[in-house]
Amino acid sequence: MKKYKDGDLFTIPMKDGRWAIGQVICALQDRFDRVFSFGVLSIGEEPKLPEEDREYITFKDNGRHGHILFASATNMRRTWKVVGHLPLTEQKLAMQWFHVAGDLYHNDEWIRKLAIEEYPNYPVMSVAGNERVQIVLAGYEATS
């Protein structure tokens, strides 16, 4: 059984000394039980939890802009720690749709085959290990 669930907040210690606060979007259980999706609420010098819900930070990864990252569940067992919970908003619940090799999923449930022209409408499950997540997060610079 997983020790995290949809909506859980967790810390990611970054190699540059900063901390990211992530929120689990999909704590996948079945066919993709070694993967979860998340958004990043903040990156800063301290692992400070947000006092209220906020939008996810936008990242550029592999030439695409997005709010969702898919990561290996081993990250949660090793260095990332659950530190709180905020229920997912309706907007964030809509982020639980993704595609893998042309198949559309909602959480663990297979929905249907996608037409090629629909691919851009859904995030692609591209699982990142801690190193890849570190690279993506390291490129974020807060703007005032």
Dump pLDDT digits (tens) for 23-66.
999 998 888 888 999 999 999 888 888 878 899 988 876 566 77
Per-residue model confidence (pLDDT) at position 139: 75
Asked if residue 2 is part of any domain, the answer here is: no
> Is residue 66 within 8 Å of residue 58, measured between CB atoms?
yes
Per-residue model confidence (pLDDT) at position 90: 94
Per-residue model confidence (pLDDT) at position 61: 61
Per-residue model confidence (pLDDT) at position 142: 57
Average pLDDT, the chain: 88
Asked if residue 120 is part of any domain, the answer here is: no
Asked if residue 95 is part of any domain, the answer here is: no
Asked if residue 144 is part of any domain, the answer here is: no
Per-residue model confidence (pLDDT) at position 23: 96
Query: What's the average model confidence in pLDDT over 87-101?
Result: 93
**Distances from the Cα of 93 to the Cαs of 84, 97, 114, 141, in angstroms?**
18, 8, 20, 27
Per-residue model confidence (pLDDT) at position 144: 42
Count structural domains, the chain: 1
Range of the domain at 74: 8-89+125-138
Asked if residue 114 is part of any domain, the answer here is: no
Counted residue by residue, the chain has a size of 144
> Is residue 29 within 8 Å of residue 99, measured between CB atoms?
no
Asked if residue 27 is part of any domain, the answer here is: yes
Per-residue model confidence (pLDDT) at position 24: 96
Asked if residue 43 is part of any domain, the answer here is: yes
